[in-house]
Amino acid sequence: MARRHQEEEHENHERWLVSYADFITLLFAFFVVMYALSQVNTDKYKVLSDSLVSAFTKTSGGGVQPINTKPAPLIETPNIRPSAKPDEAKVKAKSKMRNMASELKEALGPLVQNGQVRVTEGALGITVEINASVLFSPGDARLAPEAVRALSAVAQIIAPTDFPIIVEGHTDNTPISTTQFPSNWELSGVRASSVVRLFVDNGVAANRLTATGYADQRPVVDNATVEGRGRNRRVAITIESRTPDAQVELPILNKSEAKSG
């Protein structure tokens, strides 16, 4: 019987699809792994960070120094609360002083014109220099009626402000020796006090005022002539331009902070 010839197997032309599918699967798995690695695991990152910190903070005895997770206390600075900004305060003070000088010159106009009163502005403030002949009789410390009117006008101008005021009494070098005034020191001091007392009576705050007597120790001209001695007998009223300082509040520490400090 004739042997039957085996039928030839047909070649499968779609076998490449199997390899292609395997390749696509591997490629998909690769991208999944890459995506997973790109996501930061915060828990693992914290464990790694703590391990590194512990490794670099070991003590000489082999122990591990604990990590202080408590935030460092903030350093408190003094709380400076000025009533106004420094520049603004200076500008306001200069403006007030300038206006006050103009008002004083206007109020004492006749005395300024005849040279018995001098109003000057300087680094310290305003100085009103009044000849003693306008204010007092020779050897006396009681204010004349004309002087009371002039000084009352000055007081009305300076009373609303808060600038410190220094009143200085000056004499010439002619000696004086009376029961009330043993020397020019007493005379100059009492004359300055008389002006201060009039200012207080006219509304100027007493804590702003200072009375000082210099006798003949600070002449402005030579005492050799009658005119020079008359020029040196004077009362100088200085209105200082300095303003009140800014208030500084220091922080209050509790007991634990005080002990640690």
pLDDT in tens, 11-24: 666 777 778 888 88
| ∠ Cα 45 49 50 (to 5°) | 120
Mean pLDDT (whole number) for 161-169 = 95
Distance CA 207, CA 163 (A): 10
Distance CA 158, CA 149 (A): 15
Question: What is the band of 52 on the pLDDT scale with cuts at 50, 70, 90?
Answer: low
Query: In this model, does residue 213 exceed pLDDT 90?
Result: yes
Question: Domain spans of the chain?
Answer: 18-56, 84-240
Fold held by 84-240: 60s Ribosomal Protein L30; Chain: A; (3.30.1330)
> How far apart are the two ends of the chain, measured CA to CA in Å?
119
Global pTM reads 0.60
What pLDDT, on a 0 to 100 scale, did the predictor assign at position 89?
76
| pLDDT, tens digit (0-9, with 9 covering 90-100), for 98-130 | 899 999 999 999 999 999 999 999 888 999 999
Query: In this model, does residue 7 exceed pLDDT 80?
Result: no
Q: For strand 165-170 and strand 209-213, is the pairing parallel, antiparallel, or unpaired?
A: parallel
Mean pLDDT (whole number) for 177-205 = 96
Mean pLDDT (whole number) for 191-218 = 96
Distance CA 135, CA 234 (A): 9
Mean pLDDT of the chain: 80
Query: In this model, does residue 260 exceed pLDDT 50?
Result: no
Query: In this model, does residue 258 exceed pLDDT 50?
Result: no
